[in-house]
Structure 1
């Protein structure tokens, strides 16, 4: 992906978000398994939240990003009470498409990593189109 000269976003933007794991975040609670550890859907939501945060300060008026593609390896369990940190880095811009590398860590251990692709859209048009589809 190449950076667009007039794009509001450029590679290198980063953000991090934290989550202290509660019972509501477990695989048992979110329906993705039967173990009392951080569920993969919550890991994914945290990773996406970091990508949203990375673009927030440069978002054009009326704009937003929506998820397009995710590749995520969730490789280690995190018990209730631990704090995980998701870090997202914008690595590529191709027109309205934004590609991020994401990593989620628990202390010094990487518990998940992958890539998230998002697309810049006009918020109002997107919501209107979504409503027309129903």
Structure 2
């Protein structure tokens, strides 16, 4: 059952592939902000996926986060999420990212529960125009 308080945790290692230089968000060999955001989204959606009705998923609709500290290549990064609000199909999460030296960012993330096939069909219909 989907309830407030569900927690998630996902981790990755900073590589050239998720660096600011490679992702185009800067020129340095540090963990990219877009990569941090993707990790936050992944942590949130994976934490609630087992509790959703068959055929449903979630889509991200809002992020309000800060990226407060750099992380070099080779270092482990992880995100922790907690579901803090359920309002119908709208889910609100608290998210925080850490590296091996401490917190590197955090904030809030909002997702909506959607029927996967219907949502995909709506997106695919745009390509037909």
Q: What is the TM-score normalised by the length of structure 2?
A: 0.95
Query: Are 1:66 and 2:56 counterparts?
Result: no
Query: Are 1:25 and 2:18 counterparts?
Result: yes
Where does structure 2 lack aligned partners over 5 or more consecutive residues?
Answer: none
Q: Please give the alpha-carbon distance, in whole angstroms, between the structure 2 residues aligned to 1:69 and 1:116.
A: 6
What CA RMSD, in Å, does the superposition of the two structures yield over aligned residues?
A: 0.9
Which segments of structure 1 move beyond 3 Å, counting only runs of 4 or more?
Answer: none
Q: What is the TM-score normalised by the length of structure 1?
A: 0.92
Of 36, 44, 47, 1:43 maps to 36
Deviation of 1:108 after TM superposition, in Å, equals 4.6
Question: Cα deviation per residue 1:56-110 (whole Å; 9 max; x = unaligned)?
Answer: 2212100000011001100000000000110010000000000000000112511
Q: Please give the alpha-carbon distance, in whole angstroms, between the structure 2 residues aligned to 1:122 and 1:58.
A: 14
Deviation of 1:133 after TM superposition, in Å, equals 2.0
Where does structure 1 lack aligned partners over 5 or more consecutive residues?
Answer: 1-7
